[in-house]
Amino acid sequence: MNKTIAIRRVRPEARRAIPTDASKLGFGRYFSDHFFATEFDRQNGWHLTRIEPMRPLQIDAAAICLHYGQEVFEGLKAYRGKDDGIYLFRWQKNAERLRNSCRRLMMETVDEEFFGRAVKTLVLLEQEWIPRAPSSSLYIRPTVIATDPFLGVRPGDEYAFYIIVGPAGPYYPEGFNPVRIWVSSEDVRAVRGGLGEAKTAANYAHSLCAQHKAKSLGYTQVLWLDAIEHRWVEEVGTMNIFFVINDEVITPPLAGTILPGVTRDSVLTICRHWGMKVSERAISIDEVFEQASSGALTEAFGTGTAAVISPVGVLSYKGKEVVIGRNQTGPLANRLHDYLTRLQHGEEEDLFGWVERIDKLDIDQLAVWNG
Ligand code: COI
């Protein structure tokens, strides 16, 4: 694997304006000056590894990713601490999931070391773009696509792995306030044996229809149920889901149809560390409604890299609404949000070995790679 990253910097006059008002960042709207890219073919392996000024990609109109969806991606963040440090959070988990997604879609994989080097080099080069306001960060989007021009249905032989980054605020317009969720009783996200646990474009393209229904009814997101019985809770559009029932923290198990979220795993670990009762178990939508109506279900929240911890205030299922925790952010969501964001910004003792400060580590190597 080619380890050298050639860097071509943007001309000063072509630099983009860095947004200054963090309250208006939103999510996924701004992109920095450079992107990382590398290409794969059977003869050369990964090669042409570089960081260059942002530009439209040039791929063949017949590229396999455009016709048969061989595309996988990741989402992670770089954080600027109060101490001015630059922090990454559990990036190895994203590297691992990207490899798993690639394997599921019969795509060429990227090894952990290469992934980490690519992410760190780009983040360090673009460090001015990391916002400093609370609840903001530099969102990192690694992507792999099959690029060979061929219209027969078979796995690609040529791939591009690229990474774009951009400053981002809260994913939802609600910020860290309860969201209203619509439970889909007809459309399903994934079936066992399908693509549900891969982070691939198809899962998101497929979700748009139900997402549109939810929006038009005044809800922010869709909660998916299982594809066979239409009964068991799976996940929310861009997040995993948690419920607190009689002080027990419950989330559906990873059984092949659910995205194995890094934040999900972190929340499970943190809650166990805090001595809470934690269960990864099947939970039906009927149980959720019964327990919410009886008052035993006191909190629900989603977890995700983009969404962080996102409280759920209202659920709607088959025309019936239930309000959770008086439609207010609950104590566990609050505590987790506070702890996680402090940890990610290097402000908490890193008990789990999840946080890596990168600005001190790699800056010399960055200069060496400057090509
Ligand atoms: C993330 O949380 O990073 C995601 O990838 C969700 C995204 C589809 C908005």
Mean pLDDT estimate for the chain: 94
Whether 26 and 132 map to the same domain: the answer is: yes
The CATH number of the domain where 195 resides is what? 3.20.10.10
The domain of 70 spans 2-173+352-370
In a domain, 343, yes or no: no
Each of the 371 residues of the chain gets a pLDDT tens digit; together they read 556 899 999 999 999 999 999 889 999 999 999 999 999 999 999 999 999 999 999 999 999 999 999 999 999 999 999 999 999 999 999 999 999 999 999 999 999 999 999 999 999 999 999 999 988 999 999 999 999 999 999 999 999 999 999 999 988 877 788 999 999 999 999 999 999 999 999 999 999 999 999 999 999 999 999 999 999 999 998 899 999 999 999 999 998 999 999 999 999 999 999 999 999 999 999 999 999 999 999 999 999 998 899 999 999 999 999 999 999 999 999 999 999 999 999 999 999 999 999 987 654 455 444 44
> Are residues 213 and 132 part of one domain?
no
Among candidate residues 40, 5, 2, the one with its CA nearest the CA of residue 146:
40
How far, in Å, CA of 178 to CA of 299, rounded? Answer: 10
User: Which amino acid would we find at residue 308?
Assistant: V
Residue 116 and residue 67 share a domain:
yes
Residue bearing the CA closest to ligand 1, atom 6: 238
Region of 217 please: left (phi>0), alpha (psi -120 to 50) or beta. alpha
**Using CA of residue 64, residue 65, residue 70, residue 74, what is the dihedral sign?**
positive
Residue 345 belongs to some domain of the structure: no
- The separation between the first and the last C-alpha atoms of the chain, rounded to the nearest angstrom, is 18
pLDDT at 361: 60
Which residue's CA is the nearest one to ligand 1's atom 5? 75
Do 114 and 139 share a domain, yes or no?
A: yes
113 inside domain: yes
Nearest-CA residue for ligand 1 atom 8 is 238
Q: Looking at residue 134, what is its pLDDT? A: 85
Instruction: Verify whether ligand 1 is closer than 6 Å to residue 305 (CB atom).
Output: yes
Task: Assign residue 13 the CATH number of its domain.
Answer: 3.30.470.10
283, 272 Cβ separation under 8 angstroms: no
Please give the Cα distance from 151 to 289 (Å, whole number). 48
Q: Which atom of ligand 1 is nearest to the CA of 73?
A: 5
Q: Are residues 94 and 132 in the same domain?
A: yes
pTM for the model stands at 0.95
In the prediction, which pLDDT does 180 show? Answer: 95
Q: Same domain for 24 and 166?
A: yes
* The two structure tokens encoding residue 160: 């591009």
Residues 56, 166, single domain; the answer is yes
At residue 3, the pLDDT reads 63
Q: Which atom of ligand 1 is nearest to the CA of 306?
A: 2
Q: Is 334 among the domain residues? A: no
Position 344 in a domain: no
**How many structural domains are present in the chain?**
2
- 33 and 67 both lie in a single domain: yes
Same domain, 166 and 280: no
In a domain, 336, yes or no: no
Residue 128 lies in a domain: yes
State whether 74 and 12 are in the same domain.
yes
CA-CA-CA-CA dihedral for 164, 165, 170, 172, to nearest 10: -10
Distances in Å between the alpha carbon of 209 and those of 201, 214, 247? 14, 9, 35
Q: Is 142 in the pocket of ligand 1 (CB under 6 A)?
A: no
Ligand 1 pocket mutation pick from 164, 305, 340 by most atoms within 8 angstroms of CB: 305
Atom of ligand 1 nearest to the CA of 237: 8
pLDDT of residue 363: 46
| Position 162 in a domain | yes
CA distances from 311 to 114, 295, 300 (A): 35, 17, 6
Q: Based on the domain organization, do 212 and 320 belong to the same domain? A: yes
Same structural domain, 263 and 218: yes
- Atom nearest to 305 CA in ligand 1: 2
For the Cβ of 237 lying below 6 angstroms from any atom of ligand 1, the answer is no
Instruction: Tell whether ligand 1 has an atom less than 6 A from the beta carbon of residue 306.
Output: yes
C-alpha 211 to ligand 1 mean position (Å)? 15
CB 183 within 8 A of CB 317: yes
